[in-house]
Amino acid sequence: PEPLREALAGAAPPQAGNRAPAWSCPRPAPAAANSPLSRLRLRALPPSAASARGPSERPLRPVKSLPGGTAHVKLEIKKHAVTDDYKLSKRVLGLGINGKVLECFNKETGQKCALKLLYDNPKARQEVEYHWRASGCPYIVHVLDVYENIHQGKRCLLIVMECMEGGELFSRIQERGDQAFTEREASEIMRDIGTAIQYLHSMNIAHRDVKPENLLYTSKDKDTVLKLTDFGFAKETTVNALQTPCYTPYYVAPEVLGPEKYDKSCDMWSLGVITYILLCGFPPFYSNTGQAISPGMKRRIRMGQYGFPNPEWAEVSEEAKQLIRHLLKTDPTERMTISQFMNHPWINRSMSVPPTPLHTARVLQEDKDHWDEVKEEMTSALATMRVDYDQVKIKDLKTSNNRLLNKRRKKQKQAGASSAALGCNNQ
């Protein structure tokens, strides 16, 4: 349609190394005349095609009401052109695991939304199904509409979602400046993330890619809501049913590194890593080169080698450290379940958690350049969707071997030496 062609002309996707979150709303991307998106054409599904349903086009199921949210109504995929209902702007919001994400506006209400384009296949249908079923949870990005259109002679699915304008979890903490980030705030954040995971696990869905970049705020407001996004790796599961080795290395559970089967406990491991980062500003396991995982690192992750180095962990409560230990158990059968997580006193009694100021905001700000490197490496890993085990190198965060920690310590020593020299010169 003509409106779509005009809207997308000159739009360019973000650079691979600086990919925006799947449906956040950053500034407009710079124009690029030869952008693939400038050639994007969508049209309504013809009646004959709509009636002929192939094997990849199974209808999506309704869900029952579940803990942590309300039931989402049965999904009805719309066959008319998405541009009949939504006006597309020239802003490219980012690239999800399985498709492009564009900005659009509801023509009737003016609501700003995010539009994700997926070529129609069984995997795309699965992503749409799981995300739609999960949209009843207040801590998961809501799917508003789904369309089935034709693009370049191929069927595609277009997912219209709420637009997350508040940015990433850790970017928001970085931007706090002198305002301290406290342990109580970390507890409240983990409670909200846990609610999203509890909702998914109650439907026997494992997200399989719970990580900071997939946690976005609805707005810049103080009372904004943090939500989980991107269901490109989500999978329906029963106990020990998941076997596919797709993951983001920084948050990978030990059993994913080997031939063992794994289940929802993968998400619990990720919760442990995110809790750890919230409380200090750096991860318990850290990539040294941006490549993937070495056999030696596999063994170290399986052994659960991490620590709570000072001064970052000096004032953190023992209750928080205990929670992390239960989440980072190397044996998935011993790892805390989501129900146990939500019932842990550090989570369900967050108002009783001490408002201890943490080093997190300062560390994230000081190491901002290195943190961006980590995210770029993770983006590269996500793009492959499968990781070659023999080519992966992750470094564990023992205090003596952590590159981020060592650089910060060196910087602090240099600053101290400069101050001492200045003091001597003034005497």
- Is position 209 annotated as part of the catalytic site? yes
Pick the catalytic residue from 209, 263, 367, 396. 209
Is residue 116 annotated as involved in ligand binding?
yes
3-state SS record for the chain = CHHHHHHHCCCCCCCHHHCCCCCECCCCCCCCCCCHHHHCCCEECCHHHHHCCCCCCCCCCCCCCCCCCCCCCCCCCECCCHHHCEEEEEEEEEECCCCEEEEEEECCCCCEEEEEEEECCHHHHHHHHHHHHHCCCCCECCEEEEEEEEECCEEEEEEEEECECCEEHHHHHHCCCCCCCEHHHHHHHHHHHHHHHHHHHHCCEECCCCCHHHEEECCCCCCCCEEECCCCCCEECCCCCECCCCCCHHHCCHHHHCCCCECCHHHHHHHHHHHHHHHHCCCCEECCCCCCECHHHHHHHHCCCCCCCCCCCCCCCHHHHHHHHHHCCCCCCCCCCHHHHHHCHHHHCHHHCCCCECCHHHHHHHCHHHHHHHHHHHHHHHHHCCCCHHHECCEECCHHHCHHHHHHHHHHHHHHHHHHHHHHHHC
- Enumerate the known binding-site residues: 116
Residues designated catalytic: 209
